Amino acid sequence: MSITVAIINYGMGNLHSVYRKIASFSVEPIIASTPLEVIKADKIILPGVGHFGKAIRNLQKQGLYDAINEAVLIKKKPILGICLGMQLMAKKSEEGDCKGFGWFDANVVRFQLQSNRRFKVPQTGWNTVAICKQSKLMEGIADGSEFYFLHSFHFADVQEPDRLAETEFDYNYVSAIEKENIFGTQFHPEKSHNQGMLLLKNFIQL
């Protein structure tokens, strides 16, 4: 029986680019819009682009918020948050002054750039990641590899054991996180060519 990967549909992001990448592996991806689809899946991907507060409200309105919590915290199913999906794993965000899932003891803040001539918000385009610890998610990916970014907010005050990768954009910030069965990337692996495909493959094989 093939592995079922639920790609959460809560109206916040381009699901189909993620779907196409996942479909290239020997798995069964589904665009999941109901709690049952989330609970039944083997693995979960939480993508997203947009406003933190609206994302949480949409998840709650569709009954997905509680279903994701059950799948991740009780059933211990692997989950990968991408961009906004990673940010939703924090305690709270400045964007909308809203609480997230709270799986990580960290907050989400807007970039506070000192060099506004060199750097612009949102961060858009390719940047490198410095890998902070060994991880099956990053297996085969070289330190300093480039990934595609598009965001104005980022994780802050992340506990040391949860830091998977960091990126420099005027200053260093955490661009990937990991704790037990929970993973997140601020960058978009689905838009990051070979390195992104390898990361997604690693997640599927967890």
Per the residue annotation, which of 37, 95, 178, 190 is the catalytic one? Answer: 190
Under DSSP, the state recorded for 77 is: -
Under DSSP, the state recorded for 187 is: S
Other residues' Cβ atoms within 10 Å of the Cβ of residue 152: 11
Q: Is 37 a catalytic residue?
A: no
d(CA 21, CA 10): 19
Helix (H) or strand (E) holding 54: helix 52-61
| CA–centroid distance for 194 within its chain | 18
Q: Is 188 a catalytic residue?
A: yes
Q: Is 51 a catalytic residue?
A: no
d(CA 188, CA 149): 6
Tokens of 26: 């020997």
Per the residue annotation, which of 37, 83, 95, 151 is the catalytic one? Answer: 83
Helix (H) or strand (E) holding 20: helix 15-23
Per the residue annotation, which of 37, 132, 151, 188 is the catalytic one? Answer: 188
Under DSSP, the state recorded for 100 is: -
Catalytic residues: 83, 188, 190
